[in-house]
């Protein structure tokens, strides 16, 4: 029990530090399946998979209480979890809710292996069911966002989702989204979008830009961190916020030109 508490503590610490769950291109077990790009079309599959996993875990807890040997079935449950499409979807689209599922599976295995009290095994099973359902909820949110036409991203946090477009184009799209949110009265969401875009996108390109035009970078830093959020904070008109976004887009166009130049000049690794 002590060991488990320590592990949970470490996880809690890292979760606290984890601002952005994931933007993955490929998974440990292979390329992302097409279904993860369109979770809405596969929601029935995910729901069935979760129902099966939950039923299996429930029967394990029930049979454990009836003094049956269930350790092999826990292993099979873990293997099943690794195979289902839901696993891949949650790993790529809602990563913050992915580790808790592993934690719950680990707890179930540990309680079984250690001949823990029936109630502890049941508690682990319920923890697993809750984690799976929470993950499903996150995927449903992702599906809603996809349907709305918003940028595909991790539902659980601000995400630097996998995206092959040039970073500057993504930044400009995100700024437009922030402006749209502001027009709709979603001020906090708009400010968060601006902050996330700066942290997850702009910081990734500023290194190359500094050598090309440090003034442009410092100007954009001020735009992202002060000018634009302050306009939103102070309740400026949507037109005024839009004018600021236009000004930033022009700077970003210049940035793209400079990045193209920097890429051309970059040396080879080997």
Partner 1 sequence: MQRRMLLKTAAAAGLLGPAGTLAAANTAGRMAESADDLPPLVGDLTVYLGRGEGGLYDDIVDAIRKRNPELNLEIRRAPSAALANTLIAEAGAGVTRADLFWSIDASSLGAVTGEGLGVPVPESVRRQVKPEFRYPEWAAISGRLRTVPYNPTRVSADDIPDDIMAFADSDYRIAWAPAYGAFQSFVTAMRLLEGEQRTREWLLGVKKNATSYAGELGVAVAVARGEADLGFANHYYTLRLKQGQPDADVKLALTNNDAGCLVNSSGVVLLRHNELATNFLRYLLSREVQSYLAREAYEIPMASDVSVPEGLPADIHPPELDLTQIGDLQPTLALLRETRVL
Residues that bind partner 1 (CB under 8 A): 7, 10-11, 13-30, 78, 82, 95-96, 98-103, 105-107, 109, 160, 204-208, 210-215, 217-218, 221-222, 224-226, 266-270
Kindly state the smallest distance separating residue 183's Cβ from partner 1, in Å.
25
Our CB check for partner 1 shows the closer of 180 and 212 to be 212
Kindly state the smallest distance separating residue 122's Cβ from partner 1, in Å.
18
Cα distances from 83 to residues 89, 126, 129, in angstroms, run 11, 21, 17
Our CB check for partner 1 shows the closer of 149 and 270 to be 270
Kindly state the smallest distance separating residue 137's Cβ from partner 1, in Å.
19
Our CB check for partner 1 shows the closer of 180 and 208 to be 208
b/e map 176-213, b = 16+ CB within 10 Å: ebbbbbbeeeeeeebbebbbbbbbbbbeebbebbeebe
CA distance 122 to 127: 9
CB half-sphere exposure, 119, CA atoms < 13 A: 0
Q: Three-state SS for 26? A: strand
Kindly state the smallest distance separating residue 40's Cβ from partner 1, in Å.
23
Our CB check for partner 1 shows the closer of 41 and 166 to be 166
Closest CA to 23 of 157, 166, 154: 154
CB half-sphere exposure, 10, CA atoms < 13 A: 7
Kindly state the smallest distance separating residue 8's Cβ from partner 1, in Å.
9
Our CB check for partner 1 shows the closer of 20 and 43 to be 20
């Amino acid at each position: 029990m002590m060991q488990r508490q320590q592990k949970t503590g470490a996880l809690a610490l890292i979760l606290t530090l984890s601002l952005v769950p994931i933007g993955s291109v490929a998974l440990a077990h292979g390329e992302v399946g097409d279904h993860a790009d369109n979770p809405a079309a596969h929601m029935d599959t995910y729901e069935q998979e979760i129902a099966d996993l939950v039923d299996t875990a429930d029967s394990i807890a029930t049979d454990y209480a009836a003094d049956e040997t269930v350790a092999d079935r826990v292993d099979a449950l873990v293997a099943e979890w690794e195979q289902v499409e839901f696993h891949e979807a949650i790993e790529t689209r809602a990563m913050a809710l992915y580790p808790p599922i592993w934690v719950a599976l680990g707890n179930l295995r540990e309680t079984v292996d250690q001949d823990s009290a029936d109630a502890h095994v049941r508690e682990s099973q319920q923890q697993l069911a809750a984690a799976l359902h929470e993950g499903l909820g996150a995927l449903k949110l992702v599906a809603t966002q996809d349907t709305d036409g918003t940028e595909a991203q991790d539902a659980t946090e601000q995400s630097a989702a996998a995206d092959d477009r040039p970073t500057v184009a993504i930044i400009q799209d995100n700024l437009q989204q922030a402006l749209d949110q502001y027009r709709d009265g979603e001020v906090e969401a708009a400010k968060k979008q601006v902050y996330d875009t700066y942290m997850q996108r702009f910081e990734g390109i500023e290194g190359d830009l500094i050598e090309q035009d440090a003034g442009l970078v410092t100007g954009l830093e001020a735009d992202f961190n002060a000018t634009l959020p302050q306009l939103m904070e102070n309740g400026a008109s949507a037109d005024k916020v839009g004018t600021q976004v236009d000004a930033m887009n022009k700077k970003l166009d210049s940035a793209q030109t400079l990045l193209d130049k920097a890429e051309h000049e970059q040396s080879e690794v080997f």
